[in-house]
Amino acid sequence: MTKQRPIEALKAALTDKLHIDLKKNPLRLNKEGNAVVIEGTVDGIALKKRALFIAMSLEGLSGVIDRLKVRPSSAMSDAEIKDHLIDAITEEQTLQSCDIRAEVHDGIIDIEGTVPSLSHKRLAGTLAWWIPGTTDVINSLEVSPAEEDSDDEIEDALRTALEKDSLVNESGIKISVKNWVVTLDGSVKSDAEKNAAEADAWYTWGVNDVRNNLTVTHAVTQRRQ
């Protein structure tokens, strides 16, 4: 990859490593100065994050400008998205006293303000991602007083998210975090639950990769004799 020009190298990596068909799902890749700009829409948070990390691994670039969006699960106006976020924050007891402000443009939520811990910051970001019309979340919340981050902090925040996610039964899921990489082990009842748990891990601010080792154990229905 390093011997190719950055844009060509990135196209090759997105195709080979992420299996993105750039003809059917075109992404715009350009250079601004010595940085690479990625624009377009992908199917899911995992593809977005992995595409960005691949771009960051390219040598000879000063940075990556992220303009990638996630295809929303439902069509919603910016006003509807903002209303949903305000409701979610208002209903979440731990966030009610926090100074959180949000702006939404083209489905992209930008949350600003001040929260007392990294856990609050991560929870607010996850709630924003859960809104069906969201295409991206910019989490600009400031933690005051400043708090040192750690793998344990990420693990605790993800556990909280899984507990709150109505699509997931967290009791069968084991979380481990090392060097900002989340590993999910255990069993769930459906592919949808497995995918939701992985998405929650990617939604957690600060996570660099997710290894989803969850197995799906479909419930067996016994016929009455």
CATH assignment at residue 121: 3.30.1340.30
CB 54, CB 81: distance < 8 Å = no
The encoded tokens of residue 50 equal: 């992995």
Q: Are residues 88 and 107 in the same domain?
A: yes
Domain that holds residue 25: 6-70
CB 173, CB 149: distance < 8 Å = no
pLDDT above 80 (res 53): yes
Residue 139 pLDDT:
98
pLDDT above 90 (res 58): no
Cβ neighbour number for residue 128 with a 10 Å cutoff: 26
User: Using one digit for the tens of pLDDT, what is the confidence trace for 141-154?
Assistant: 999 999 999 999 99
Domain count, the chain: 3
pLDDT above 70 (res 60): yes
Average the pLDDT over 168-193 and give the result: 97
CATH assignment at residue 58: 3.30.70.1770
User: Using one digit for the tens of pLDDT, what is the confidence trace for 62-112?
Assistant: 899 999 999 999 999 999 999 999 999 999 999 999 999 999 999 999 999
- Note if the bond before 145 is cis, omega within 30 degrees: yes
Cβ neighbour number for residue 96 with a 10 Å cutoff: 10
**Average pLDDT over all residues of the chain:** 93
Q: Are residues 92 and 127 in the same domain?
A: yes
Grade residue 4 by pLDDT with cuts at 50, 70 and 90. Answer: low
- Left if phi > 0, otherwise alpha if psi is -120 to 50, otherwise beta: which for 25? beta
Q: Are residues 38 and 95 in the same domain?
A: no
Residue 1 within a domain: no
Q: Could you say which of 70, 98, 121 is where a domain stops?
A: 70
Q: Is the dihedral of CA 3, 181, 196, 118 positive or negative?
A: negative
